[in-house]
Chains A and B, each alone.
Chain A
Amino acid sequence: MRRTSWLAGILVVVAAIGRSWSEETPPPVPAPAEGTTSGDVAIGVGAVDGLDESSKAQQYREIPSGFFLDQFNFAAAKHDWRFDLFAVDLLQEDQRIVFSAQKTKTLRINVGYDQIPAWYSNTAATLFANGGGGTMLFPATIRQANETATPVAGIATNLQTSLAAAQPFPDLRYRRDRAFGDLTWQTPVPGLTATAAFSQELRNGTHDQTLSTNFSVGTDVTEFAATTDFTSRQASLGVDYAHKRFDVGGSVVWSEFHDDMTSTSLGTTVNDAYIVDNPLRATDGTPAVPNPAAPNNLASSRFLLSAPPDSRQAWVNLHAGWRFADWGRASIEFAVGENQQDENFLPFTLNSAIVPVTPLVILKDGTTAVSAYDGKIDLTRWDARISGHPLRWFSFEAFAHDYHYDNKTPTYVLPDWVSADVALDGAAATSEPFGYEQQSYGANATFRPNPRLSLGIGGRRESWDRTFRFVDHTDEDIFDINAAWTPGAIGEIRLSYSHGERRFDSYTSTTNDPAGLRTFDLANRDRDKFQIMASITPIDRLQLGLQLFSLEDTYPDSTFGVTSAKDDSWTLDFAVDCGKGVTVTGDYGEDRYQWTLDARYAAVDPLDDWSTTPDDKTKNYGLGVLASVGKRWSLGAHAAVNDAVGKQPAYFVPGGQANGNGTPFPDTSSKLETFSADATWKLRKHLDLSFLVTYENWDEANFQRDIMVPWMGAVDGGASESVYLGARVPGYDFTWARVVMHYWF
């Protein structure tokens, strides 16, 4: 009981400090009496400084300035009905509204709407204008000037000068708007429940998109602010029946995805693709048919880049279970589903100068000419499980699981393909409809020789069968043991250890890969995992927590590729009741992930051996205080730091030239400091006034694309004319102070 009280106490402290972040599910209000209403409203006014520095501060939220509606709850009861309305951050970019209606023993309905912003960058710049849908237009004057300019010097100068004048910098952001609802109906038939749910999500805005253009001559890579216009819908119907120890049920789930973007340029309209102007050319050209006006660039005047195609999915799920009195349960689930995607094929190219000798016809299964994709995945899943504790000192579980991603899509032969819209590659390509089946089965048992000690042992096998990969079949055998000891009210300690060995039947390398190269997700692997969790209450007013976690992977068969990986973490936390209504909490934790990559470029020359050992270290620590002063004041404060550094050292053979690439990559670092404090004054029984302040500081180095500053000049051959968004995500430093009045009615 004491431990439970302490845990609750810690959570209260955390809850109080985290109050300004809370906006999840509607907090309940006391039950209104029949025919009355109740609720609460929190209104605030605030000021914020420093938000303009970086989009990162409001990546997923809006921090309001001025008046704002923090939250609103309203509840009403009438006859057997109860109604609830909950709203948080109303009229802001991240608002959420949920309405619930329920009739006792019969029906519950929830409908809601929420928004989640995703602000990627506020520092981007681009010369591309959005011509509607996914059409990206480059200024004609600059294109024409680039056509006859000398590469490296002239074109780079043109683009750099123009980009500097491209104002204002476009925001890279989109927002996810979701409408959702669900219904649960306890039918008049005892034990029979019906459910229904739906959701629709719209995702509108822009995101950063790159397009590889022309190699060896002209622009290498173009980057633009691409349109995001996605619609996702999901609906389900289900029914469950339970009678005494038996339960059975099923559901149908359907979902669809629409990419609502259409691009049109120079009389060509395509769905689910971007049409992007070539910054160097106004008309098409190839090595065979160059444009005399732009002899140095042999590319298309427009590029085509595919976007996510529309797709659909349906599942039928069935489940049944049997309870063995109060000591066990057996259950089985079975589901079948299907994915479909049947969009028309995009054109190979929009470059009119590329005229194939014979028409480029896509052949289904290598025989039938088709103009649309016939993508279909048959999904099958089943699970069987029996678990229970038939004796006070013994419990067990046995399970089997199968998931089959059976790709029924035909193989498509593409007679040729276009390399960067310059010319036909001259070789056919064949699609590979990848599929897999994953099976696992195992059992575990737990013994309790006395109420304070439990010992567990278990094992399972996980098998994968794959098509179109280097490895057709892998088996992984995992063995685990665990123990838990509760030496009285002073606390409890849990230990667990597992060892797994994954082995493939055979590994088929490609001719270009050095012998002994293995991909880490298929390679033979030994995995050891160890964990300690301890909670100790040495004295009544102090609780300590400790966790240790270690995971180590070795790849015994891999000469090249990932040869080892290690993840070590530990945390220490405490909570102290200092008396007089004061509670102090604190925590410290570290996480370190490191792995080794052994590589060789050009297998014939040992001097070209190189390797790298990426190493990410994170420290996280915090301190919090909660105090009650008298009967009317409560105070809280919390400070936390998350400090991470990622290194990517590379090692070369002594005397080796490493291809002149001896410069180490810069470290990536990220440090987030947060501080929040609040003071709440209970003015009346139903009225609180809170004074809150939040401070955040985020410093970063080489995060995201900062690691290599967007380049607009000569780097190495072929990259001199790249056009980048210049999108960066710099650090920020903001302070948000507000006063919130909370009234209950």
Chain B
Amino acid sequence: MGRLTFVAAVSCFVLALGARAAEPAAAAPATHVGPEVCATCHEAETASLRHYADHPGVADCEGCHGPGSAHVEAGGDATKIMNPGKLAPAAAAKTCLGCHDQQHVRDWPGSTHQRADLSCLSCHAIHNKDVKNAALLKAPVQADVCFGCHKMQRIQTMMSSHMPLRESKMQCSDCHNPHGSTTKALLVDASVQDNCIRCHMEKRGPLLFEHPPVRENCLNCHDPHGSLHDNLLVATPPRLCQSCHLGTSHPGQPRNQTSRFVFNKSCVNCHTQIHGTQSPNGTALMR
């Protein structure tokens, strides 16, 4: 009996899986009416619809909302037409993924934001005529959309040492792909190093004398979202350097603020080539 129960359970699971994987049932017997019909009642939504302007004849109202004849015939009954804004996140995203599922969006399934139950409409507003953005984001400044949830990063970007994010000279998507990525923190590139070096190419190397923590991960010393300390450093030298270099001789001393090992650029006064050097005399990263 136990074995039969087990077989039955497995069979039910397989059937459920198959049913889930089967093609969806045919849509309601409605037909397309065209955007001109939609505009007779929804003038504001259609007049400023950039999405349609970009894809005329391809992505009109019914491309997302489905055939509208039943909705029209019912005098505008909202239950007779699909509204992605009222669907569960996965179903809402499916509407967009029907066209937008390649290139930078192809890793959406299983991505961090998808698993957090977000959908395309969490960040994008197709109809919001008051807020215009070429990526159809809900705010004109991309960072404001991200900071809606990532509030800690917003605090950091307001710090004195920062990348030009709040000056709108770069965007969150310059480093992150919010639609999904195979790397941690949804980075655009394959590693932290590759991500940073795409803009800071002078640090790429390889170099004759390397500083291994630099080559391995920029985040060992820098906080890219913002810092109280110069050059986006997580701490001020010499303490930052002493977090690894605490041996005998001069690195291990606590130092006075007027010591030549502390004032001005501290350790980097002499070890100027902290990211590595090509000099034959660079064994101590001084030249």
Contact = CB atoms under 8 A, between A and B. Distances in A.
A689 to B, nearest CB: 19
A220 interface: yes
B29 interface: no
B81 interface: no
Contacts of B277: 306
Contacts of A444: 115
A11 B145 CA distance: 7
B199 to A, nearest CB: 8
Interface residues of A, number: 197
B66 to A, nearest CB: 16
Contact of B134 (A27, A672, A716): A27
A477 interface: no
A709 B131 CA distance: 48
Interface stretch (A135-143, A153-161, A291-299, A659-667): A659-667
B76 interface: no
Given A61-B169, A305-B273, A599-B242, 8 more contacts: A27-B140, A56-B160, A325-B23, A484-B116, A521-B216, A650-B254, A661-B256, A705-B264
A203 B53 CA distance: 37
Nearest to B212: A434
B144 A14 contact: yes
B134 to A, nearest CB: 4
A373 B262 contact: no
Interface in A16-48: 18-19, 21-28, 30-31
B202 A432 contact: no
Interface string B97-119: 00001110011011000011100
Chain B interface residue count: which class? 35 or more
A104 B141 contact: no
Nearest to A484: B117
Interface string A395-430: 101010101010101001010011110000000010
Contacts of A61: 164, 167, 169
A698 B160 contact: yes
A124 B246 CA distance: 33
Contact of A94 (B130, B169, B255): B169
Interface residues of B: mostly helix, strand, loop or mixed?
loop
B213 to A, nearest CB: 6
Nearest to A598: B246
A556 interface: no
A357 interface: no
A339 B205 contact: yes
Contacts of B260: 220-221, 711, 715-716, 718-719, 722
A92 interface: no
6 contacts: A11-B139, A19-B140, A306-B287, A385-B110, A469-B212, A599-B246
B278 to A, nearest CB: 5
B140 A15 contact: yes
Nearest to B255: A661
B22 interface: yes
Interface in A291-344: 304-306, 308-309, 311, 313, 319, 321, 323-329, 331, 333, 335, 339, 341, 343
Interface string A214-228: 000000110100000
Nearest to A387: B110
A454 B116 CA distance: 10
B263 A709 contact: yes
Contact of A102 (B54, B156, B183): B54
Contacts of A360: 280
A255 interface: yes
Contacts of B236: 614, 646, 648, 665, 668, 707
A405 B212 CA distance: 12
A130 interface: no
Nearest to A392: B20
A571 B109 contact: no
A739 B254 CA distance: 54
